[in-house]
Structure 1
Amino acid sequence: MTTNTSGAVTTGGGNARSERLLWILTGATFLIFFQAYMVAPLLPRLAAVFHVSVEMAGLMVPAYLMAYGVATLFYGLLSDRIGRRPIMIASLSAFILLTVLTGFSQSAEQLTTVRLLTGLGASGVVPLALALIGDLFPYRERGRPLGWLFGAMAGGMAVGAVAGVMLEPFITWRGLFFGVAAAATMVLAFLLPYRDLLGNKSGTARPTLGTLFAGYRTLLGSSRGQRTYAYVALNAVFHSGVFTWLGVYFSRKYGLGDVGIGLALLGYGIPGFLLGPVIGRLADRYGRSQLIPVGLLIAGASAAALSLDMPLIGAPILVTLLSVGYDLTQPLLAGIVTDLGPNRGQAMGLNVFTLFVGFGSGSLLFGAMLPLGIETALHVFGAGAILLGILAAFLFRSEMHK
């Protein structure tokens, strides 16, 4: 057992305590994405509750996502200097407190503000969990644990979207946030006995602006880093833009209510939750060069097909395929990020910053296109993802088995 430069304890992929910590981090990741994505399908309901337009209510989503993304830049860098432990515990605690406060919001403006603060406070957990995978597992074995974490993200998105909209009539939207806070408190209690694996305070000197920018120049100075982060951003814009407004899509196009929307979204995230580790193993064995382009092509074609006239039964199938496209891209891109430089906290912080700013931007961009018609927005987003997939076949051809 050794300690790396970031202060995290490296135990190797087969250690039982590392595996149990992986499950706890998976639970924390699931809850953070659960609460992040249970809001989007509730937008029609929240707009009615607070007497605002759907577009105004929709600002709650990018407020959280973009604040989350910006804060990760600081958490990741700081964790490379003082260790993962204090940052992760403090961030998870902030997530619990601010999620409780969200449930007490009395207006759309208050809810949006608290969501923004929650994004700032909670954004230390997932990027540091991803960075810890780099600390605890060698590169050739990271596909499986990264698959679990990204499967938890996908599962949280899926279950949050479905459970949130279906449970709201029974426990209210406030009860949803209180329930998430209670579950996160349990995760924190499970995490504390494993805090030694999160790393102690590092002896590395306090970072300066020079070392900060030097780290980013290293990450973005190679063509590998540039294309990886670019695809993280553009893929996030695509998926968040489409997913955020799927509740409105099913409401307007098929006249579905809350329960119907929840059922229609049931397939989103389930493939990643079930197949995330399998996809990770495939990436470890065969490389990422083929899987990433295929994922983009599947997702783009699914989004474009949603704009067509079809029976209601066909749309949820396309939503599931959209999710498969996500599962074949973002986890594999994150695996490349863990291999870009020595400071994994900074590298993964930049990755999650790029991911969540992309998420927020995609939500805003798709929303801005709604006056043109939701079908038009789906056409544009789908065509963009297909083009990215074609280019990825050439840009990522060097990402073979390593």
Structure 2
Amino acid sequence: MFVQPEATSSPPRAVLALLTAAAFLIFAQAFMIAPILPRLAEVFGTAPGTVGLAVPAYLIPYGVMTLVWGPLSDRFGRRPVILGSLVAFTVLTAATTLADSAGAFISVRLATAVGASGVVPIALALIGDLFPYQRRGQALGWVFGGMAGGIAVGAAGGALGEPSIGWPGLFLVVAAAGLVLLISALVMLPAAPRPQAPPALRAVVSGYQSLLRSSRGRRTYGYVLVNAVLHSGVYTWLGVYLHQRFGLDEFTIGLTLLGYGIPGFLLGAVIGRIADRFGRARLIPAGVGLGAVCALLLAAPMPLIAVQAAIITLSLAYDMTQPPLGGIVTTLSNNRGQAMGVNVCTLFTGFGLGSLIFQALLPAGFAVAFGVFGATALIATVLAIPLFRDERPSTVVQAPA
């Protein structure tokens, strides 16, 4: 089996900056759809619920395809997969502007998900190749900070930018940025080693089974799922909550949601350094617990400024959990592309489930939905304390061969 070598020195900062920018852009375009759904429904002459299918049409294929890109990157190298996915992302994002119906828009979003899903998970696997575990948290923190910033800017930018440049203009701006990233990647991305004997399909299937067979793998992926359900459920419906609770319009909702990604964008690398220095044993339970507190606070009748503070703190909770969990994933197997593929598939599955579960609770009211999510996260916090107690910096973890 091919074993990716551990780096003995940090790669150029430009590579890390490139990967962070790619994560920012891809998550920005993914999350700029939700706030412009009413406008898209008006343009295509359909109901918001119909064009809203573009959201799961993107999330679900994105998650599933990471299970394909991961093994391909282990077989052919990280560079060709990332470059090919960037090409597809750029071309299909530009092609979105040609959609003249809800069906065409949903179809091109699905295709974009298939193409774009090879960038971020393989970028995370590449970081696992380039950085030793003792310094990996800080590097992952930068990339996850880029994701958080992309979520915030995408959600706010969609609401704020559409009236000025129209929805096609939003996609053209993203496509232009994608082209810049592609050119930069052609120059900067390192050529990773390739296996002399590529693994057979049976070995790939066995690799997935091995990842889920280990107790460390199951608990890590399990908390990736739980964390994604919590944050997606709460975040996806915050726009509707802000509109119903405070009567905010799209512009003000966009400004309010902008706070969600600020902690990760500013503190991602700092949180990563904390994980590297002190371990993940306390950081992960603390992050889950902080998310639980935020959800329970949102269930209370708070003023708008307190809700804004809870939204920002909820983002911090995500940054205290998902990047450290991602760091653990990079040690579960020497085939890091495959391990990270399972991670991203689990993450996006959780995103989709969280939105659906929260929606199912909404007939009982936002207070009940927030309360159920918060109480569940509190239980997960208590369970996380013993489950992750061994994730300390002194623990030497060897990936299975």
Fold conserved between structures, TM > 0.5: yes
Q: Which amino acid in structure 2 is aligned with residue 14 of structure 1?
A: S
Contact preservation (8 Å) 1:41, 1:246: no
Q: Which amino acid in structure 2 is aligned with residue 126 of structure 1?
A: V
Contact preservation (8 Å) 1:62, 1:363: no
Is 2:343 the counterpart of 1:351?
yes
Moved more, 243-252 or 151-160: 243-252
Match for residue 293 of structure 1 among 281, 285, 291: 285
Q: Structure 1 12/164 Cα, relative in aligned 2: closer, same or farther at 3 Å?
A: farther
Partner Cα separation in structure 2 for residue 371 and residue 171 of structure 1: 36
Partner Cα separation in structure 1 for residue 40 and residue 330 of structure 2: 38
Secondary structure (helix, strand or coil) at the match of 1:369 reads helix
Q: C-alpha deviations, 1:104-131, integer Å up to 9, x for none? A: 2223332222211111111000011000
Aligned to 2:197: 204
Match for residue 282 of structure 1 among 274, 296, 306: 274
Is 2:320 the counterpart of 1:339?
no
**Structure 2 portions without partners, runs of 5+:** 395-401
Q: Structure 1 106/303 Cα, relative in aligned 2: closer, same or farther at 3 Å?
A: farther
Q: Structure 1 313/368 Cα, relative in aligned 2: closer, same or farther at 3 Å?
A: same
Is 2:177 the counterpart of 1:183?
yes
Partner Cα separation in structure 2 for residue 51 and residue 149 of structure 1: 38
Contact preservation (8 Å) 1:264, 1:315: no
Partner Cα separation in structure 2 for residue 377 and residue 107 of structure 1: 34
Secondary structure (helix, strand or coil) at the match of 1:379 reads helix
Secondary structure (helix, strand or coil) at the match of 1:29 reads helix
**Structure 1 portions without partners, runs of 5+:** none
Deviation for aligned residue 1:307:
2.4
Contact preservation (8 Å) 2:7, 2:132: no
Q: Structure 1 48/319 Cα, relative in aligned 2: closer, same or farther at 3 Å?
A: farther
Aligned to 1:397: 389
Q: Which amino acid in structure 1 is aligned with residue 195 of structure 2?
A: S
Deviation for aligned residue 1:201:
4.6
Q: Structure 1 172/375 Cα, relative in aligned 2: closer, same or farther at 3 Å?
A: farther
Q: Which amino acid in structure 2 is aligned with residue 70 of structure 1?
A: V
Secondary structure (helix, strand or coil) at the match of 2:260 reads coil
Aligned to 2:310: 318
Mapping 1:198-237, distance limit 5 Å: 198-199=191-192, 201-208=194-201, 210-237=202-229
Q: C-alpha deviations, 1:324-376, integer Å up to 9, x for none? A: 11000000000000011111110011111111111122222223333333332
TM-score (norm 1): 0.93
Mapping 1:20-99, distance limit 5 Å: 20-99=14-93
Q: Structure 1 306/108 Cα, relative in aligned 2: closer, same or farther at 3 Å?
A: farther
Task: Say what the alpha-carbon RMSD is for the aligned residues.
Answer: 1.8
Q: Structure 1 342/238 Cα, relative in aligned 2: closer, same or farther at 3 Å?
A: same
Match for residue 14 of structure 1 among 1, 6, 10: 10
Mapping 1:130-141, distance limit 5 Å: 130-141=124-135
Q: Which amino acid in structure 2 is aligned with residue 155 of structure 1?
A: G
Q: Which amino acid in structure 1 is aligned with residue 119 of structure 2?
A: V
Q: Structure 1 251/26 Cα, relative in aligned 2: closer, same or farther at 3 Å?
A: same
Partner Cα separation in structure 2 for residue 302 and residue 342 of structure 1: 37
Partner Cα separation in structure 2 for residue 373 and residue 256 of structure 1: 18
Secondary structure (helix, strand or coil) at the match of 1:228 reads helix
